[in-house]
Amino acid sequence: YIGDDTTDENVFKTLHTGITVKVGKNNDSKAKYYCNSTGQVTLFLSWLLRQITPAMGNRSPYSPQAAPQRLRR
């Protein structure tokens, strides 16, 4: 979960699994990680995609087969 607003703090506080990222000044956020700007978010997501793509084998991370069963429609 990535958020940049004080209203996102409720999610940061209650989401115990996964990745939480605050965009902007940390200011005692409950997020586990933070990025200074939306540009850094783009870099982070690009890095994350490169990390998970090799584990996907021949499947594209954008294909419906790549999504966990519970996330498929």
Rounded alpha-carbon distances, angstroms, from residue 20 to 10, 42, 45, 71, 72: 11, 15, 13, 19, 22
pLDDT at 59 (0 to 100): 64
pLDDT band at 12 (very low <50, low <70, confident <90, very high): very high
**Please, how many CA atoms are within 13 Å of residue 19, restricted to the half-sphere of its CB?**
10
DSSP state of 22: E
pTM: 0.68
Distance CA 64, CA 54 (A): 17
